[in-house]
Amino acid sequence: MKATAKFLLVSGVISGVISHQIPLHEQDYTPDSVEELERKWGFEWGFGGVNTFAHLEHLKCLTNPDALFDIGVLGVPFDTAVSYRPGARFGPRAIRAASSRQTSFRSFNPRAGINPYMSWAKILDCGDIPVTPMDNAMALTQMTSAYLELGNRAPLSSTGGKHPKIISLGGDHSLALAALRGLKNVYKTPIAVLHFDAHLDTWHPEKYPSPWPSAQSQFNHGSMFWIASNEGLIMNGSSVHAGLRTRLSGEDWGDYEDDTRQGFLRISSDDIDDIGPKGVIDAIMNRMGTEIPVYLSVDIDVIDPGLAPGTGTPEAGGWTTRELIRILRGIEGLNVVGADIVEVAPAYDGVGEQTALAGAQVAYEILTSIVKRGLVDMGKVAEVPGRKNLVTKDEL
């Protein structure tokens, strides 16, 4: 079919005019070019396509060492280190499905003045770590090995630093220990932790009593920061908990005393009533600054279970989804070198997938901030109405 005839046929269909050309199915087949195939079939509606995060290109990064990227979204379907309700192994799948309305053509973030999917960063959905549910010791080894493998690769662009950044979709919160082990190896320094959670997760392992104790049981989703701190992985004195409202062990303040020794600043869920989201943002930024490497860890149970019921250890009295997102937007100046969104357990979610939707939005906000930070480091201009066009490190 000649190019002119093909154009007339296509333009006739687009304009709604009935074309007098030979019906398509009666024509001799002529193969399209690769470019034309991409133009015709590369588009996806939000409700279509295979469930990758935000319709990103999917690649099993762990088996493709030559494929370079700047930010990888990595599923970690592991939940056998939980202390209450299991089910977070299905979290990566649920968050990916909930992210389906995020598309490259409709993801401009007006608060930041950028579309993270159309900026400098090559972002891939790196698939999942095939974590065993049978052996927690081996699972921790697998997760650590995966973070070492991906973290030690070169990024596609030098804009975002010397190493690619991994955003993990959990999975239970214990994956943070493996991520911090990987980051300490890659960056050769302890990492500051910004931890959004209802719970401390710095509990001494013996605070989980058992008449049948074992060394392996000390690794769980409430003790991983205690282990990380004692291994020297965490930059104690620069780390922060935010959204706390948990009950404590025993009859005294022992859990807080352990936490203080590990160098965390504690911001409770109630504090937002007194200081507001802006006060929470200021407390975090004053503590962490904009230069030290930060691991941003978001347990979805920081949100009130009335708004995010799909989680394994729900605690009443949490922040709203809007409050959490507002705080995440306010800390965009942090030097985030890795992140996670964990404890999404879709079996307990509502029919509207509200917990998974919150997780997908949290991931989008973190992605936006990482990409924007790269632009700021380059001295690029971000046009945001109501603000000066040039956003500098001093303003973040």
User: Residue 392 falls within a domain, yes or no?
Assistant: no
Question: In this structure, what CATH number is given to the domain that contains residue 223?
Answer: 3.40.800.10
Residue 393 inside a domain? The answer is no
Domain count, the chain: 1
User: Amino acid identity, residue 353?
Assistant: E
Check whether 394 is labelled as a binding-site residue.
no
Q: Tell me whether residue 173 is annotated as binding.
A: yes
Does 14 reside within a domain?
Answer: no
Q: Is 19 a domain residue?
A: no
Report yes or no on 126 lying in a domain: yes
Cα angle 338-341-346, degrees, rounded to a multiple of 5: 155
Euclidean distance between CA atoms 278 and 78, whole angstroms:
34
Three-state DSSP class for residue 75: strand
Would you say 301 is a known binding-site residue?
yes
pLDDT band at 5 (very low <50, low <70, confident <90, very high): very low
Please give the residue range of the domain that contains residue 94.
71-206+217-366
* Element of type H or E holding 284: helix 271-288
Distance CA 94, CA 107 (A): 20
Tens of pLDDT, residue by residue over 163-202, are: 999 999 999 999 999 999 999 999 999 999 999 999 999 9
Domain-located, residue 329: yes
Tokens of 31: 């193969």
pTM exceeds 0.85, yes or no: yes
28 annotated binding-site participant: no
Residue 84 is assigned to a structural domain of this protein: yes
Q: Does 110 map to a domain?
A: yes
Q: pLDDT > 70: what percent of the chain? A: 91
Per residue in 19-64, pLDDT (tens digit) is 568 898 888 888 999 999 988 888 888 888 889 999 999 999 999 9
